[in-house]
């Protein structure tokens, strides 16, 4: 768990996200950042995690070293009016008006599950991530993309709804990176390996994995 909120001196727009989270149903890995130049990034739970009501106990899980741009929204299941009914109106939610059982409130919407974001994911400006979506490690979500389906690791997607633009690397490199899991290394080991990570030197990074514990 990070011990400081602001990564950069004098920058109040960028926060280590897990230091501002209070909801136990939201889990965020270390070093994941959120930037907001419109609203207060400290209000991420209120402004960015939407329709996330306690009645469902659904989770938002975000990995380590993610970069989340201003205005990104996570839309949960209570935004999904059920399609099992002949009407889109949420009658069970207004159980008092319609003399329905209070215990049936959750039938007003379809439950698509948790939102799970992998490690080292970059989510662009004002992207929208819908309920039930899983985004793989190393993926990139373009600005203002609406993600309605799972995104494979190291895949760039964009558009409404999101469509694959291309893979970031070839299949062999992706497999090696997924096995390497550098984001799980100690901070000292990552710091010592930054020249390889930043300059795209995978072979050297693989050697670090073997030589340094």
DSSP of the chain:
--S-S-SSTT--SEEEGGGS---TTEEE-TT-EEE-SSS-GGGHHHHHEES--TTT---EEE-SS-EE-TT-EEE-GGGSB-SSSS--S-GGGGHHHHT--GGGGGGGB-----EEE-SS-EE-TT-EEETT-EE-TT-EE-TT-EE-S-B-TTEEEETTTTEEEEESS-HHHHHHHHHH-GGGS-HHHHHHHHHHHHTT-HHHHHHHHHH--
Q: Which of 52, 56, 81, 134 is catalytic?
A: 81
52 is an active site residue: no
Positions annotated as catalytic residues are 81
């Amino acid at each position: 768990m990070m011990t400081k909120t602001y990564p950069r001196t004098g920058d109040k727009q960028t926060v280590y996200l897990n230091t501002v989270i209070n909801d136990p149903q939201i889990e965020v890995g270390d070093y994941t950042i959120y930037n907001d130049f419109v609203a207060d990034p400290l209000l991420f739970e209120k402004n960015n995690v939407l329709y996330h009501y306690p009645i469902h106990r659904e989770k938002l899980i975000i990995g380590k070293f993610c970069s989340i741009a201003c205005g990104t929204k996570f839309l949960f299941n209570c935004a999904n009016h059920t399609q099992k009914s002949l009407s889109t109106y949420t009658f069970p939610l207004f159980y008092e008006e319609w003399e329905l059982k209070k215990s049936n409130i959750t039938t007003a919407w379809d439950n698509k599950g948790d939102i799970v974001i992998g490690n080292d994911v970059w989510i662009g400006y004002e992207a929208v991530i819908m309920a039930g979506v899983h985004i793989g490690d190393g993926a990139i979500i373009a600005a203002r993309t609406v993600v309605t389906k799972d995104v494979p690791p190291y895949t760039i997607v964009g558009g409404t709804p999101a469509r694959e633009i291309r893979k970031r690397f070839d299949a062999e490199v992706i497999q090696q990176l997924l096995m390497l899991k550098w984001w799980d290394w100690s901070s000292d080991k990552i710091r010592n390996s930054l020249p390889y990570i930043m300059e795209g030197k995978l072979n050297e990074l693989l050697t670090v994995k073997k030589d340094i514990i």
